A and B are shown apart, each in its own frame.
Chain A
Amino acid sequence: MAMDDTRDRLYGDKKLSLWVIAKRTFAYLKGEMVYFIAAILLLALSVGANMLLPIVLKEFTNDLNLKVSGVSFETLLILGLSYLGLTVINQFLLYCESMLLQKAGQKIIYRLRNDVFEHVEEMSLNQLNMMPVGSLVTRVAFYTANMSDLFTNTLVSILRNILTIAGVTVVMFILSPLLSLIMMIFLAIVFVASFFFSRYVKEIFRQERQKQSEFNTFLNENLSGMKIVQLFVQENRKKKEFDAKNQELRKLRMKVVTAFAFYRPFVSFLYYAAIAVTFFFALQFELSAGDVVAFYLLLSNFFSPIEALADSLNNLQRAQASSEKLYSLLDVKPDIVDLPEAKQIDKFEGEIEFRNVWFAYKNEEWILKDVSFTVKPGETVAFVGATGAGKTTILSLISRNYVPQKGDIFIDGVNIKEIQIKSLRKALGQMLQDVFLFSGTIKDNITLYDSETYTDEEVMEVCRYVNADSFIDTLDDGLNSKVIEKGENFSSGQRQLLSFARTVLAKPQILILDEATANIDTETEVLIQDSLKKMRNIGTMLVVAHRLSTIQHANNIIVLQQGRIIEQGTHQQLLHQKGYYYKLYQVQFEQL
């Protein structure tokens, strides 16, 4: 997944110093310190074992010169077998080391992911509205994965490569200090070349990724907007734009290819040149045949760690950028939180009072203007008015998804600011306009990830209460039937009934319902109305009403116009007044 950095900004993103990032990353690492120390020890041992292999080969080669060495076959056999032995030990150590790191790294990422997700959960709806879901998801899933690379791979690979280079150098010096000094020249050349190359190639890779993502955007846009292109007969022009982009992309690809076509062969050239130099100076410095073979073997291990080191630096930078994003998200404080003295209330009577409430989503664009009303326990109140009159907003203020700028809201005489948010929301049964269903089973959706707490019978009982059994019973798997994403395999009426079941199961004392306007088939409509009738007995009920029957049965109808209450009363009273409600009723509810 190519993620273009500049396009993935989030509210609250900030720059953190390297020191802060390192400190916070270390805090996550701390719990798994034992794993990391053990892994490093194993790593050192494995590098050591690896370094013995060229020495074994050196001895073997020299012993093969039987005229001089005069060894028995047993000696050769032992050396031959010890090669396998060392390999097995080395690989076993590597396996243990890798798995230790994986386990530790994955554990850290698991914890980090949970922390980030939990943190997102704590944000208020207002804050969440400012953060595109896509960016949040990228942080939960993708940036955390970048971090896991750091723990499982990058840090250790850096260590391993440094140790290997050091090990090879040491063994070389033991074999021949003079030849080693010459080899250091090669080491330096590869070192410089690799670092320059990796910086250069990182830059063209970045350009290539960007071009690729631009290209994909172009394609995506043109495929989605093909209708427009065709209707405006602009195919030729778009084709020309495409050709230019296609060509550009190819040129960048070739730039990458060319860069590698110089670098990789150059390193190969140096490798073979180093062999030639070894052969040449072996004679000058009077090395043994075994020494030559050992050098030959060491050289094959000499250059690749340097290349890998250069790569690791790039990974390190990526992990740093990712962690910066994660830590700044974790630093965003939730803006609706409990007051320290907030009360926990387990049961409400259900009296609700709005006292001179003013509210605006954006500054000074008042959605609610000086709204005051009282609802007695057990009453059903319907809110009526044109779109944008503020009906839905009233409901979201009660649940403290938003906080009014002026005025107060009381439940049972207690200001809702002084009630613990969780205990407040537990008392409220909120049925929102568009029912959000999660993928999973019907039961999962009614219990909301709480399937284990409720028995099937308990859930079914609730379903019968709200008439949702009518369609659940017809499904092969009943409560365990699959719900696909967004609940698209259910009709909007069925989704409504499921949201009723969800609410009733939670045993609220106050019901909040934002009636959906969607077309619902007559059969289900009857079920919904019947179920609404029953639910009125649960407790206080506040409804943004679109159904005639809901309005007719309300104890009080509050008519809103542009954020103000303009009329109040029962259906009959309001009809009698022949005011705004009367007209609204005629158009919206009376069948023509």
Chain B
Amino acid sequence: MLLGKILSKYYKRYWYLFLIGVLTLLVTDYVQTLIPESLGNIVDLFQSGESDIKEPVLKIVLTVVIVAFGVGIGRAIWRIVLFQASSRIEMGIRDEMFSKSQRLSQSYLHQNPVGNILNWFSTDIEEITDFLGWGTVMLVDAFFMSAIVIVKMYLVNWLVATIIIIPMLLIVAWGVLVERIMSSIWNMRQKSNDELYDFSQENISGLRVIKAFVKEKQQLRAFSKVAQKNREINVKFARISVLFDVSIEVIIGAIFSIALCLGGYLVWRAFGGDPLWGINLKSGELVSLIGYFSSLIWPMIALGQVIAMRSRAKTSLKRITTFIESKEDIYDCEDAVELKDVKGHIEVKDLTFRYSDGNRDVLSHVSFEVKEGETIGVVGKIGSGKSTLSVLFGRVHNVPEGSIFIDGVDIMKATLHSLRSNIAYVPQDNFLFSDEVGNNIGFCKEDATEQEIEEAARFACIDGDIKGFADGYHTLNGERGVSLSGGQKQRISIARAYLKDAPILVMDDSVSAVDVKTEEEILNSIKEKRKGRTTILIASRVSTVSSLDKILVLKRGVVEAFGSHEELLKVSPTYQKMVMLQELEGEAS
């Protein structure tokens, strides 16, 4: 059994499945042990020398037929019932984990790479499911089946039973060893495979350098070394796993042989009328004992393996529990207020921000005000903090209380749902889902009509591009569909945000990959369609922002200037430089 807070509710929910499963297992295990007995009886009957043995033989045949049906039906039932339970639990845990991941903030996801979380979702959940399903089977077999068989063996003959069972412990030890050693060598092999993989990955990526310096031969030699190591480890892995297989067979053969010799001796003494220690062993009984021994092999191996299996499942469960119980850092405060009828007035007051794992302030003492309906620009070099600023409005990270206000309400005191519903955001990385283009645009509005989607696309000047695709708005984005250009992705994200129709729109460097003419069209769209609503445009080009109401210039997290284009030309050196650079580029093209 595997215990834990997460699992106990599932046990409560599915206890009946486990109960039915274990009960069928017990019955199946029991009827199987009737076979060695029957075999022994047959041998006794055949060797009894009596002429009419038809009836007792038929009885035995009937028993075996019952066993056949019992085992067939029983195994089908426990497979379905137990795996039904484990797969339901698997689904439930996955569900809990996904819900949890939706509540986690970016800073958590930053510290725990997606790769790790994916591993918890796959490998770790599988360990647990495996243990709940197969582990249960192995546990029942290991304890119950071996108990019945051992009792039956003692009932037949204590001496042979003892002689067989003692070396059986070797098999248990073997099971434990196999799990331990094999899993460690398996890991070694896996590591070597990874190494080969990584080496190829790195070196094929860096082939340019190798070619430049004509070091192909040397690189191939290095590759051969890694491949050679992989080859050796594979041979070693094979050797050890074959050795394990061979050794278990030899152990079993040896026990078999001992049982035959000792049993044969006892039968011979008994036949000679001089039974050893009064033991009167019949040949049929000896055959039964050997049959019992055969059916004891699997439970013994299972016993060894289930121990290791459980410890792995326990580790996995611990990891998953840690994830599900990890602290959430962005949530509604106790007396959070609902933002209603947002007009789009934004005030940033002395905002200082640093990432939870950062060692310097990304923004320091930033203050500015955006009146409702204004469109403002934010410019600055890479690292000026402009992108960070853009995500803070939607509280992707917590900000100090009293530093950002929307319509006079501190965003830390507003409900997350109402805050985010009122802000539309175009991210810099243009993350799109591998879904149809139309669905990507209608992302936040499941019931968006075709007209609405097309209108949003026209807003972002992507309508023409999309209609040019063979499947139009049904074109799939991603590896199975078309690969969109950076500019197209940007414009689709703009359309997606536009469709949200929020009082505040924040665009983080969203037209950088778009040509100047299209950029102008998008800017016109903004002026026209977002009239009276607040828009914040973060940009790396002056052309994007020069015609806006106001422009904020950030330099290393500090406000250098905030004003109109003309004002900035006078007071902001950063801005002046950007303008000159742009003029030059304009000449070049």
The answer to whether A185 has its CB under 8 Å from any CB of chain B is: no
Q: How far is the CA of A159 from the CA of B60 in the complex (A)?
A: 37
Give the segment of A316-324, A432-440, A465-473 that binds chain B: A432-440
B-side contacts of A249, CB under 8 Å: 91
**A279 close to B61 (CB less than 8 A):** yes
Which one, B67, B106, B201, B260, contacts A60 given CB within 8 A? B260
**B91 close to A247 (CB less than 8 A):** yes
Give the segment of A21-29, A87-95, A199-207, A522-530 that binds chain B: A87-95
The answer to whether A430 has its CB under 8 Å from any CB of chain B is: yes
Give the segment of B136-144, B173-181, B265-273, B528-536 that binds chain A: B265-273
The answer to whether A223 has its CB under 8 Å from any CB of chain B is: yes
Residues B180-222 near A (CB distance < 8 A):
193, 196-198, 200-216, 218-222
The answer to whether A541 has its CB under 8 Å from any CB of chain B is: no
**A73 close to B268 (CB less than 8 A):** yes
The answer to whether A268 has its CB under 8 Å from any CB of chain B is: yes
**B201 close to A113 (CB less than 8 A):** no
B-side contacts of A152, CB under 8 Å: 238
Closest residue on chain A to residue B294 by CB atoms: A300
Give the segment of A34-42, A233-241, A347-355, A364-372 that binds chain B: A233-241
Interface string of B241-260 (1 = CB under 8 A from A): 01101100110111011101
**A80 close to B209 (CB less than 8 A):** no
Which one, A128, A148, A289, contacts B234 given CB within 8 A? A148
**B218 close to A239 (CB less than 8 A):** no
Count A-B pairs with CB separation below 8 Å.
Answer: 372
**A432 close to B43 (CB less than 8 A):** no
**B231 close to A107 (CB less than 8 A):** yes
Closest residue on chain B to residue A512 by CB atoms: B212
The answer to whether B76 has its CB under 8 Å from any CB of chain A is: yes
Give the segment of B78-86, B159-167, B519-527, B559-567 that binds chain A: B78-86
Q: Give the interface residue-count category, chain A.
A: 35 or more
User: What's the minimum C-beta distance from A363 to chain B, rounded to whole angstroms?
Assistant: 18
Give the segment of A410-418, A546-554, A569-577, A581-589 that binds chain B: A581-589
The answer to whether B53 has its CB under 8 Å from any CB of chain A is: yes
Q: How far is the CA of A225 from the CA of B74 in the complex (A)?
A: 47
Which one, A80, A223, A261, contacts B101 given CB within 8 A? A223
Interface string of A47-89 (1 = CB under 8 A from B): 0000000000000110011111000010011011101101110
**A141 close to B215 (CB less than 8 A):** no
User: What's the minimum C-beta distance from A229 to chain B, rounded to whole angstroms?
Assistant: 7
The answer to whether A489 has its CB under 8 Å from any CB of chain B is: no
A interface majority secondary structure: helix
The answer to whether B431 has its CB under 8 Å from any CB of chain A is: yes
Which one, B205, B260, B287, B434, contacts A133 given CB within 8 A? B205
Q: How far is the CA of A81 from the CA of B254 in the complex (A)?
A: 9
User: What's the minimum C-beta distance from B483 to chain A, rounded to whole angstroms?
Assistant: 11
Q: How far is the CA of A7 from the CA of B581 in the complex (A)?
A: 44
**A114 close to B227 (CB less than 8 A):** yes
The answer to whether A30 has its CB under 8 Å from any CB of chain B is: no
B-side contacts of A128, CB under 8 Å: 204, 207
B-side contacts of A592, CB under 8 Å: 573, 576-577
The answer to whether B2 has its CB under 8 Å from any CB of chain A is: no
The answer to whether A330 has its CB under 8 Å from any CB of chain B is: no
**B200 close to A117 (CB less than 8 A):** yes
User: What's the minimum C-beta distance from B231 to chain A, rounded to whole angstroms?
Assistant: 4
The answer to whether A488 has its CB under 8 Å from any CB of chain B is: no
The answer to whether B88 has its CB under 8 Å from any CB of chain A is: yes
The answer to whether B38 has its CB under 8 Å from any CB of chain A is: yes
Give the segment of A160-168, A172-180, A269-277, A455-463 that binds chain B: A269-277
B-side contacts of A141, CB under 8 Å: 193, 196-197, 200
Q: A98-B242, A289-B47 are in contact. Are A279 and B60 (CB under 8 A)?
A: yes
User: What's the minimum C-beta distance from B263 to chain A, rounded to whole angstroms?
Assistant: 8
B-side contacts of A77, CB under 8 Å: 261, 264-265
B-side contacts of A103, CB under 8 Å: 235
**A114 close to B434 (CB less than 8 A):** no
Q: How far is the CA of A288 from the CA of B264 in the complex (A)?
A: 18
Give the segment of B115-123, B451-459, B542-550 that binds chain A: B115-123
Residues A297-326 near B (CB distance < 8 A):
none
**A110 close to B228 (CB less than 8 A):** yes
User: What's the minimum C-beta distance from B516 to chain A, rounded to whole angstroms?
Assistant: 14
Residues A108-131 near B (CB distance < 8 A):
109-110, 113-114, 117-118, 120-123, 125, 128
**A137 close to B427 (CB less than 8 A):** no
The answer to whether B46 has its CB under 8 Å from any CB of chain A is: yes
Q: How far is the CA of A60 from the CA of B265 in the complex (A)?
A: 12
User: What's the minimum C-beta distance from B36 to chain A, rounded to whole angstroms?
Assistant: 10
Q: How far is the CA of A98 from the CA of B209 in the complex (A)?
A: 42
B-side contacts of A113, CB under 8 Å: 196, 223, 227
Q: How far is the CA of A262 from the CA of B117 in the complex (A)?
A: 35
The answer to whether B13 has its CB under 8 Å from any CB of chain A is: no
Residues A122-152 near B (CB distance < 8 A):
122-123, 125, 128, 133-134, 136-137, 140-142, 145, 148, 152
**A223 close to B118 (CB less than 8 A):** yes
**A261 close to B231 (CB less than 8 A):** no
**A121 close to B101 (CB less than 8 A):** no
The answer to whether B109 has its CB under 8 Å from any CB of chain A is: yes
The answer to whether A253 has its CB under 8 Å from any CB of chain B is: yes
Closest residue on chain B to residue A125 by CB atoms: B208
Q: How far is the CA of A148 from the CA of B223 in the complex (A)?
A: 18
B-side contacts of A586, CB under 8 Å: 580
Q: A102-B234, A583-B587, A592-B577 are in contact. Are A265 and B67 (CB under 8 A)?
A: no
Closest residue on chain A to residue B215 by CB atoms: A448
The answer to whether A362 has its CB under 8 Å from any CB of chain B is: no
**A436 close to B431 (CB less than 8 A):** no
A-side contacts of B360, CB under 8 Å: none
A-side contacts of B227, CB under 8 Å: 110, 113-114, 117
User: What's the minimum C-beta distance from B482 to chain A, rounded to whole angstroms?
Assistant: 15
Question: What are 10 A-to-B residue pairs whose CB atoms are below 8 Å?
Answer: A66-B271, A84-B257, A88-B250, A88-B253, A123-B207, A136-B200, A140-B196, A223-B109, A275-B68, A436-B206
- 4 more A-B residue pairs beyond the given contacts A137-B204, A145-B193, with a C-beta to C-beta distance below 8 A: A73-B268, A122-B216, A276-B61, A485-B202
A-B pairs, 7 with minimum CB distance: A87-B253, A269-B72, A272-B68, A76-B264, A80-B260, A64-B283, A84-B257
Identify the B interface with A (CB < 8 A): 35, 38-39, 42-43, 46-47, 49, 53-54, 57-58, 60-61, 64-65, 67-69, 71-76, 79-80, 83-84, 87-88, 90-91, 94-95, 98-99, 101-102, 104, 106, 109, 114, 117-118, 121-122, 193, 196-198, 200-216, 218-224, 227-228, 230-231, 234-235, 238-239, 242-243, 245-246, 249-250, 252-254, 256-258, 260-261, 264-265, 267-268, 271, 283-284, 286-287, 291, 391, 394, 396, 417, 420-421, 423-425, 427, 431, 433-434, 443-444, 446, 479-480, 496, 500, 573, 576-577, 580-581, 584-585, 587-589
